[in-house]
Amino acid sequence: MTTSPTRLQRASGESRVAFDLRDGRTRLGDLYQRDPCRVLFPRSEPGEPPQAVHLTTSGGVTDGDSLKMAIEVGPGATAVATTQAAEKIYRAAKGGGHCAIDVAVRVAEGAALEWLPQETIVFEGARLKRRTVAEVEPGGSLLACEMVVLGRAASGETFTKGLLLDSWSVRRNSRLAWTDTLRVEGQTPTGAGFGAANALATVIGAWDEPQPLFEKARALLEASDVRAGVTLVNGVMVARLLGEATAVRHAAIRFLTDFRGRRLPRVWHV
């Protein structure tokens, strides 16, 4: 008598949130969510735009899971989107595949979005393919930050096997302005610029007039406690912060706070 291998339950979640400008205020225009993806809308601080806080009710992601998130900001609207906590990518099952996360961002004419998720922690043996595509129309502005941590150093874990395939694309005026892919398969690539670092934060900015904001970012990063740099590519600002996970998180918080001129969403400080 033979038995079939146990079929493990996997998640296929999706969320879509859209903001519109109505009666002079940014308001929620559309919301769709399917487990384990959820979106919360905490009360914003006085004078600040509305927030969308994304979370996964499963508590983490593993091989076979598929998550899709879409964030849209309509003409003239302003919004902030973030995540409730760090996203955990768990070890894949033996012989398993990968988990997939797809993020689609659209910023309409005259709109502004800050997409500021907390860090993604890729456990030893995890396999993640993530793709983020941002479309920024003329007059629109986008500030985004993605931070990835390889392994759980606080638990004595290093990243020696697994897969991280993390890609970003920014389109302006319906044309590709910038694209980048980080691939780590197996051990953290110490020989490819990581050194002893186990965390990387990437800050991306797209504006019609990027030069003054690029200069501001460069001045702020000169005082960073971690390895950091910033450049402009086809009008898209790209900043990198590299180092130990806790130090990179603290450096990213300081940089984004000073760059934005206000504190990050409260979930970052809980």
Tens of pLDDT along 51-60?
Answer: 999 999 988 8
- What Cα–Cα distance (Å) separates residue 110 from each residue in 139, 142, 209? 5, 11, 13
3-class DSSP state of 258: helix
User: Which has more confidence, 159 or 243?
Assistant: 243
**Residue owning tokens 């091989």:** 63
Q: How confident is the model at residue 196 (pLDDT cuts 50, 70, 90)?
A: confident
Residue-level pLDDT at 6: 53
CA-to-CA distance for 13 and 56, rounded, in angstroms? 8
Q: Does the structure show a pLDDT above 60 at 204?
A: yes
Residue-level pLDDT at 185: 85
Q: Does the structure show a pLDDT above 50 at 4?
A: no
Instruction: Tell me whether residue 161 is exposed, middle or buried, using C-beta atoms within 10 angstroms of its C-beta: 0 to 12, 13 to 18, 19 or more.
Output: middle
Q: How confident is the model at residue 189 (pLDDT cuts 50, 70, 90)?
A: low
CA-to-CA distance for 219 and 199, rounded, in angstroms? 22
3-class DSSP state of 75: coil
Q: What is the DSSP string of 114-158?
A: EEE---EEE-TT-EEEEEEEEEE-TT-EEEEEEEEEES-GGGT--
Q: How confident is the model at residue 30 (pLDDT cuts 50, 70, 90)?
A: very high
Question: Across residues 146-158, what is the average pLDDT?
Answer: 86
**Residue owning tokens 């659209």:** 106
CA-to-CA distance for 249 and 234, rounded, in angstroms? 27
Question: Across residues 133-160, what is the average pLDDT?
Answer: 91
**Residue owning tokens 């998720």:** 117
Q: Report the predicted TM-score, pTM, of the whole model to 2 decimal places.
A: 0.92
Residue-level pLDDT at 9: 62
**Residue owning tokens 């980080």:** 182
CA-to-CA distance for 60 and 41, rounded, in angstroms? 21
Q: Does the structure show a pLDDT above 60 at 72?
A: yes
Question: Across residues 77-90, what is the average pLDDT?
Answer: 96
Structure tokens given for 4: 């079939």
Q: Name the E strands within the chain.
A: 12-22, 25-34, 37-40, 51-56, 66-73, 78-83, 87-89, 99-107, 112-116, 120-122, 127-136, 141-150, 163-172, 175-185, 199-206, 227-233, 236-243
CA-to-CA distance for 128 and 90, rounded, in angstroms? 9
